[in-house]
Amino acid sequence: MNTETDIPIRNAPSAAAGRSVSKLLRKLYGQRYLQVMALLGVAWMIVFNYVPMYGIIIAFKDFNIIKSIGEAPWAGLEHFKAFMEDDNLGYVIKNTLGMSVLKLLIGFPLPIAFALFLNELRSIRFKKLVQTISYLPHFLSWVILGGILATWLADVGIINKILMALNIIQEPISYLAEPQYFWSIIITSDIWKELGWSAIIYLAAISGVSPEMYEAATLDGAGRFQKMFYVTLPSIKGTITILFILAVSGILNSNFDQILVLKNQLNESASNVIDVYVYQTGIVQSRYSYATAVGLIKSIISLILLLSANFITKRLNNTSLF
């Protein structure tokens, strides 16, 4: 009797597992087109993001293009020590952190404020017009925008003409030739280019706020600004937190295209950041192992910043990436 009753009990888990697998296979087959699209994205990420990570080992080798990575002799931490002892390290770090922190402090809150005020516009036509104008610079490359800025900021450019007409300055200034103006130019132009585009995510989050919350606030006598601060902002707190974590983790990622287009020998003391430094040493000077070591240090610090920002925000408002 015990043997007969034990047989179905032992077979029950395997039968349940079989039904689960069959159900999963049917579900995957029903989603086959979506799965193929997802697999293509995964394959692209593996090929272009994970496979190239094998090349990181050249940071610990004396690599040159004549020999393969496997044939290159090991150098240990020699390139990391060389970077720490480099005379350029001080002002490269200062420029990178200076511009990135200012972009975070100024450029991060502005899209939030822009989205909040844009959401308050009642005229749909005017709202679309403002959105279109604010989005447009994002679709222009920094090569184009850099040329426009160089023209505007030249001695005979429109900026100098306006300032001289207003008697703010008496002589034209070559802004791109003066290091003290470079950070301001970078931060202002970055905001000009990305303000409207960065606000899209916040506008999408705002559109998901329940209208009943605004109705309740209206019944309580709240005005438009009170609704903005006490209803809209708390409702999109999660979105703001996630984007803030990502912004902090990318604090060492200067906008390489922007700086490379606008930098020159005259403003190099203010424009030489880590990304440009890696490009100059790795590509221009062919110091591949050294540049890889610098890039690896930057990636490790970025990972630490990401984990730290995620931990802090999770403790403060229980919102995090993971």
**Going by C-beta distance under 8 Å and a sequence separation of 6 or more, which residues neighbour residue 269?**
91, 179
CB count in 10 Å sphere of residue 41: 9
- Where in the chain do CATH 1.10.3720.10 domains reside? 78-317
pLDDT along the chain (322 residues), means of 10: 48 68 85 90 92 90 86 91 89 92 93 92 90 92 93 91 91 91 94 93 91 88 88 91 91 89 90 91 89 92 92 85 80
Residue 271 burial (CB count, 10 A): 23
Residue with tokens 């300032």: 163
Q: What would the pLDDT profile of 38-51 be if each residue is shown by its tens digit?
A: 999 999 999 998 89
CATH topology of domain 78-317: MetI-like fold (1.10.3720)
Two structure tokens written together for 280: 């100059």
Q: Report the alpha-carbon distance of residue 277 to residue 268 in Å, rounded.
A: 11
Other C-beta atoms closer than 10 Å to the C-beta of 34 total 10
